[in-house]
Structure 1
Amino acid sequence: MKASKNSPVPSLLDYPRPSVAVDTAVLTVADGALRVLLVRRGEEHHRGEWALPGTFLRERERLADAVLRCLREKAGISGRVPRQLHVFDDPERDDRGWVLSVAHVDVVPLAELEDALKSDGVRLASVSGEPELTAELPYGHAEIVAKAVGWLRAVYAEAPDPGALLDEPFTLKDLRDLHEVVAGTSLMRDTFRRFMEPQLAGTGQMSDGTRGRPSRLWRRARQ
């Protein structure tokens, strides 16, 4: 049925609009495990529970600015450039109402999180070793963590330590050990070496042999 010429033209304000939030999965490797950073909620809703750092988008605020504001204010992290991961739009994900989450992800060396982790309100959780915790995160954050881990594993399958979690220089064994932690499984030594070595730059130096036989030292090749 066609609208008459005298029918009012719908305005954007006539349509229901969701609130928009940003949530960030900060991933790192610590104590031989892949971990995600959580913060203890200080807000009234789910107060005291652990969750990903997240916040609502303010009026006319850019997504990237909201992410940086949240990481700075809730986790004490600054100087990072998280990347957008996925939009989570399940209407039931937040019991406060219809909230879209524009999820972000960042890969951060453990040393850069030391100051943040001094707070009692910030902790690391193993993505596989603490299922009772990550499964109970509010606002569908467990799904965001799973998506972030899947993304990380995909990028680490294609390149040597793209998140720069290892200090340079490193041995191939150091690199493979890290990639096995990220992948959550063991990797064939020779296959890994053949795939990764062309993407590395040799330093012409050898390890000191304090952990096994001396080995060649490498750096990530600069693209």
Structure 2
Amino acid sequence: MTSLDPTGRSLDDYPRPSVAVDTAVLTVARGALCVLLVRAPDAEPSLAWRLPGTFLHVGETLADAVTRSLRQKAGVADLHPQQLHVFDDPARDDRGRVLSVAHLAVVRADRVPARDGNRLVPVADVPALPFDHGAIIGFAVTALRERYRTAPDPSGLVDAAEPDGSFTLRELRLVHEAVAGHRLPPDAFRRTMRHHLTETGRTSTGRRGKPAELYRRRGGPSVPE
């Protein structure tokens, strides 16, 4: 039996918008916060670069759709994306009514495959993108910067040279500066972070310059997503 609402209409009587997922994959590369763009082969050249995304399939969860789109369109796997926001402007897609559930994934740059269809672009230099992908990137950057404001490298972006994942304060600060998009005074940064760090009792080796103390986050080393 078909269930009707008070107006006498069934679920099938209502127009159904398409649902898409779009993911801002953020990383630090060459000292800058970057976003991963992928090239759509069938799009006009001026709008070919965009965030990896796809339409939700019947019987598929949002998380499954995100995983599928990242694997197929960017060659990236084993991430842990976070839902950010639903973008629902009726005019966001000229192909029809499409809702986009935006996600954020944070990953070290060495986990992004180097291939023709991938490009890491500094968030400060993102070109015009189709749909509202520029707004999605802005939303993702704001979320990541808030995450990094008071916690030491919560997403594991420090490329630590030590096997146990420990790092120097300078290495930590450079990652935080890349995320923040501006220089952070070293003394103030140390004061903000010191309560969240544990000294290892060791110093850095195999690096240029004077050996520096090594630290780990309290509760364990940073684990990349």
**Shorter-chain TM-score above 0.5:** yes
Which residue pairs with 2:68 in the alignment? Answer: 69
Tell me how far 1:18 sits from its aligned partner. Answer: 1.1
> Quick one: distance in 1 between partners of 2:118 and 2:110?
15
Distance (whole Å) between structure 2 residues aligned to residue 8 and residue 178 of structure 1: 56
Residue aligned with 2:24, SS: strand
SS in 2 for 1:143: helix
Contact 1:25 1:37 in 2 (8 A): yes
- Give, as a single letter, the amino acid of the residue that structure 2 aligns with 1:149: V
Q: Does 1:57 align with 2:53?
A: no
Partner of residue 148, structure 1 = 140
Match of 1:105 in 2: 104
Tell me, in whole angstroms, the C-alpha distance in 1 between the residues paired with 2:171 and 2:184: 13
Cα separation, 2, equivalents of 1:208 and 1:60: 52
Which of 208, 211, 224 in structure 2 is aligned with 1:211?
208
Name the counterpart of 1:162: 154
SS in 2 for 1:125: strand
Distance 2:121 2:7 in 1: 54
CA deviations on 1:8-57 (whole Å, 9 max, x unpaired) are 62212222221100000000011111100011003x45577001000000
Counterpart-to-counterpart distance in 1, 2:82 and 2:55: 17
1:39 is aligned to: 38
Deviations 1:76-122 (A, max 9, x none): 11111111111111111111011110000111001111xx22x2011
The answer to whether residue 86 in structure 2 is matched with residue 87 in structure 1 is yes
Q: 2:182 & 2:217 partners in 1: Cα distance?
A: 22
Q: Are positions 1:139 and 2:131 aligned together? A: yes
Q: Could you tell me how far apart the structure 1 residues matched to 2:72 and 2:85 are? A: 23
What is the CA–CA distance in structure 1 between the aligned matches of 2:43 and 2:207, rounded to whole Å?
A: 51
Q: Distance in 2 between matches of 1:69 and 1:209?
A: 40
Q: Is the 8 A contact 1:209 1:215 kept in 2?
A: no
TM value normalised by structure 1: 0.88
In 2, are the aligned partners of 1:55 and 1:66 still within 8 Å (CA)?
Answer: yes
Root mean square deviation of aligned Cα: 1.7
Q: Which residue is 2:121 aligned to?
A: 125
Q: 1:45 to 1:120 in 2, by over 3 A?
A: closer
The structure-2 alpha-carbon separation of the partners of 1:56 and 1:159, relative to structure 1 and needing over 3 Å to count, comes to same
What is the distance in 2 between the residues matched to 1:199 and 1:17?
48
TM, length-normalised to structure 2:
0.87
Structure 1's unaligned 5+ residue stretches are 1-6
Q: Which residue of 2 aligns with 1:3?
A: none
In 1, the alpha carbon distance for the partners of 2:88 and 2:217 equals 37
Identity of aligned residues (%): 55
Q: Where does residue 4 of structure 1 map in the other structure?
A: none
For residues 158-194 of structure 1, the C-alpha deviation after alignment (integer angstroms, 9 at most, x for no partner) is: 2100110112221111111110111011212222111
Is the 1:108–1:165 contact (alpha carbons within 8 Å) kept by the matching residues of 2? yes
SS at 1:173 equivalent: helix
Q: Which runs of 5+ in 2 are unaligned?
A: 1-5, 221-225
Asked whether the equivalents of residues 39 and 75 of structure 1 are also in contact (C-alpha less than 8 Å), the reply is: yes
Aligned length: 209
d(CA) in 2 for partners of 1:209, 1:171: 13
Deviates more, 1:156-165 or 1:182-191: 182-191
